[in-house]
Amino acid sequence: MKDTVHSVRDRAFAMPFANPSYPRGPYRFTDREFLVISYRTDPDALRRVLPEPLEFDDPVVNYEFIRMPDSTGFGDYTESGQVIPVTYQGTKGGYVHSMYLNDEAPIAGGREIWGFPKKYATPSLHVEKDVLVGTLDSGSVRVATGTMGYKHGAMDLAAVEAQLSAPQFLLKIIPHVDCTPRICELVRYRQTDLNVKGGWEGPGELELFRHAKADVAALPVREVIGAKHILADLTLGLGEVVHDYMTD
C-alpha cells in the first residue's frame, strides 16, 4: 500500500491524473499584447472585494485586455479582467481581482497552480483603423468595451518594465470535498525575463455593463485616468504563499 501511495504522489501533477490539462511550467509568453485602461472607482466597492491584509491608497482599477498568441503549454488565447493597485507590507503591487478568457488549459492551470480568478468568456483585442479596441462578451452579452487611440505617444520602456515586474497578488481558494475551504492563501508572483518591445499611451475610454456571472461593473467607472498599449515577452513566474488564512 505504501508503494502505491508513493507512486500516485510521484506521478500526480494536475487534473486529470492520467492526462493533465496543461504541462509543467515555466510558462513563456511571446508577443504578449496589453491594453490597460486605468480608472477611478467607488472606494466602498473596492473595500468590499479587496482581501486583507492588502491595502489601497487611491480607488484605482486597471482594466486589462491581453492577447497571448504564443504561450508555452497554454497556446493562443485572449484574456480580460481587473487588477487593483495595492500595497502589501509597504510594497506596491497589484491584486488580480477578475479574469475572463477563452481557453480551457490556462483557466485550469491558472486556478490550480497560482489561484488566478479565471472564468470562461470571450474577450478580444484588435485594431480598427486608428483605434485599439478591447471587448469582453459572456455568451451573447457584452460585458466590457475599451478603446484607445493607436500609439499616440511612446512610453519610457524602463518604466514599462518596472510596472510589469512589480509583484502581483492572488487569493487562492481550493474547496474541500464538503465545500469548506481546504486552501485559502494569499499568493504573490512576478513576471520575469522581460523583453519589452514597445509601450504607448493615448486617449482611452471604458464601458462596463452589469452581468450576473461576469460582474466587472461592480467596480464602476467614475473617471478614466489613462490608457496604455504594451508589447512584451515574459515568463510567468511561479508563486509563493505570503499569508495563509487557514492558520491565521
What nine digits make up the cell of 84? Answer: 487593483
Alpha-carbon distances of 42 from 36, 45, 100, rounded to whole Å: 19, 5, 22
Pairwise CA distance, residues 83 & 98, whole Å: 7
Catalytic member of 2, 92, 118, 129? 118
Please confirm, yes or no, whether 213 is among the known catalytic residues.
no
Q: Is 225 helix (H, G, I), strand (E, B) or coil?
A: strand
Contacts of residue 21, Cβ cutoff 8 Å, sequence gap at least 6: 14, 15, 104, 105, 108, 109
Q: Are 96 and 72 in contact (CB under 8 A)?
A: no
Length of the chain as a residue count:
248
Q: How many CB atoms lie within 10 A of CB 217?
A: 16
Pairwise CA distance, residues 33 & 123, whole Å: 13
What nine digits make up the cell of 109? Answer: 492551470
Q: Which residues are known catalytic residues?
A: 118
